[in-house]
Structure 1
């Protein structure tokens, strides 16, 4: 209705009817040619974007429908103006011009369409209307959104830890010199035997003893956990919005944090995932209005890097709102670090001498709990290089 009322001031017309009364294709009308004829205005106040974020458009069918309705207006119009808040559309302008020429040939009213660019130029000529827009609608105000990592940065580096296993196949020495032992060489069997010897000592906690006996070797997953800081750094309110996140680069998957329904039934995460995608997420904030200067930190999500791959991942964000879009890119650099295990294998034939290198997740001793893992060692037990 505000769009209609401000057009009243711009065109100096009369509000004809609301929808309940039937408009005959006319929202506003006014006399022309000394009062001997009338012009009519049909208002099409539309949101800039549809719900899916695609641009809104007025169609040929919309225009033709309003033309047909306007033919019923009494007395007959001399001119019909279709006024819309949508941006300029060349194809629609052409369609309107052609329809107007056909009308003139048969003695009907002419047709003109005015897009929002026309009103941007026209409204400053009307001080009252202009001041109203500046105060209430952010007319000519700059809208801008900022999306960064939680610390305010737009680029970060993550160092996942992987195991680098070097298998060396060598011919054993003929003398009695003891072979070199790499300080990082370890034997899972020796570590387990050490724990068993400890827990068999008198007075050792029987509960912990049973836990160790049931423990597993568990892959130490490397997940880059992230939170984002969303800020309105513009001069106008952002409302009815969501933010899409699209990841590009070499990685396994990206997923939001999911709470445990049993232990945390009230868990809520405004980061959501799509069912059939490992690289697309979206932010659906609880509050649909973000005023100037306000900000919030999103829930958590993670990127699972590929094993032993150095990569640069682009985190592209796109704001979709009622009347405003914005976009940007954050960078996550993946620089792996390696816990090195060297295994020596004796061979007899020189043709079998070789060195093989493989990469994997580090295996740690631990116990699975509901929603978590208890490791029985320390991260410092796995030095990296």
Structure 2
């Protein structure tokens, strides 16, 4: 954890306002309802951030006051009076107004806030409090979600970040291939001669084929054309060097038939076993992609140092389930002291090759309506 004295103040008012929104969202237990008030240029009635808070049984507001740390600027009594007056017109009436400021703690200003708090309470108006930068840091120590957000996003200019894409795109379209076969039945009446020939052929015995079976040292390889290759890129978009990274890629089981890490061992026929072992050892040494589950794989780059603006690509393949139009690739990036999650979108446009198979029948009772079937396209190479 970063020491209090090392937590730098936000560099702009937008970051400070967002910090206050997140922090008091945790403090007041209203993360889902706390909001920034209006937009820049509108009358905000002394309130930059507000929410209904169960603890106070009403609305509470925050007035965010960023101060220049280099001139030791502080809140002034006039500023406080002005914002309190404006907050009187906030609707519905406030229960509490907090002055959150990047200014350092100041005894005089804290005393003035206490005085105004007592005056307001005596009039039946909202309570008033102040949170100087040291107070905010104390609260950040307690509320880890906001602390982590602030440290990772606003604390340092040298932040760690990555971009995971399909070679620069958040969405891609894949084109699995299928074959649609239509059986079409046609009736043709046989001539008398054809009928005689058919009767003779039915009476003949079938002669078994005793030819020499064909054998191939290199049988053809069958390829399922539903496989679609994905090119995934990781880019270091932050300002730090990333070490020992790992990317986990997964899919919902119901979205895919199979995935593949595109790694295989060499096992050609007729090659000496020692030579095979040497080749496969070399492939193992270079391997970076590992399928860990049916629907998940990991990318573990051999070069484990990503300098700024560096990028790495790797490939994998996937077969989507039949009929799906869109599915998600879910990724999680991990490295030393940093992690990030994300989702990429894959659209599916199946490519269907249509074949018509005509079946001739000679008996009208055998006629049928067209029959269609869809199957993966498989080719031999």
Per the normalisation by structure 2, the TM-score is 0.46
TM-score normalized with structure 1 length: 0.45
Structure 1 or 2: more helix by fraction: 2
